[in-house]
Amino acid sequence: MKKIALIAIVMFVGLGLKAQKYAFVDTEYILKNIPAFEAANDQLNQASQKWQKEIEAVYAEVETMYQNYQTESVFLSNEMKIKKEEEIVAKEKQARQLQTRYFGPEGELGKKREALVKPIQDDIYNAIREMVEDDGYAAIFDKASGGVVLFSDAKYDISDDVLEKLGYKK
């Protein structure tokens, strides 16, 4: 009985020791070699700069309003002071709302990034998934994802293969 159990364990362990295929990719490298990604980044940067200038203009108005208030405050009645202060606070609130609308967690920049970049990332993911299925990899690790890879041999880096599968030259 012990002999049969020992044989079963050896067979089970032997099957578990089957060689596994692993590979590495560098998604930053892949993305930099996809022209659509660079174009998307350019669009995002242009939109971001445009929105930032718009926000800075509103803050400049706030600053001007505040300086004018300080200059005029000695000549204003209490009611006028309160009115001017409320106008300044309202304008500052408008600037913060604009900043949130463009750059906040649910902002326009995030939505635009989702629309432009996510399809490219999905294509990369799908190409890698197909390679896992077609070539029998047990796992493919991303060197760019912040995971700690202390060393990887370049011969196991399939980043160029992923680019090729996506239709881009090495």
Which tens digits make up the pLDDT trace of 72-114? 988 989 999 999 999 999 999 999 999 999 999 999 999 999 9
At 55 the pLDDT is 97
159 close to 128: Cβ distance less than 8 angstroms: no
Partners of residue 140 on adjacent β-strands: 23
Question: Contact at 8 Å (CB) between 27 and 124?
Answer: yes
Tokens of 13: 């362990």
Whole-angstrom distance, CA of residue 18 vs CA of residue 66: 73
**Average pLDDT across the chain, whole number:** 85
pLDDT in tens, 109-158: 999 999 999 999 999 999 988 888 888 888 888 888 776 564 566 777 88
Tell me the CA distances in angstroms from 104 to 33, 65, 124, one per residue in order.
29, 26, 27
Instruction: Give pLDDT tens digits for 48-62.
Output: 999 999 999 999 999
Q: What is the pTM of this model?
A: 0.70
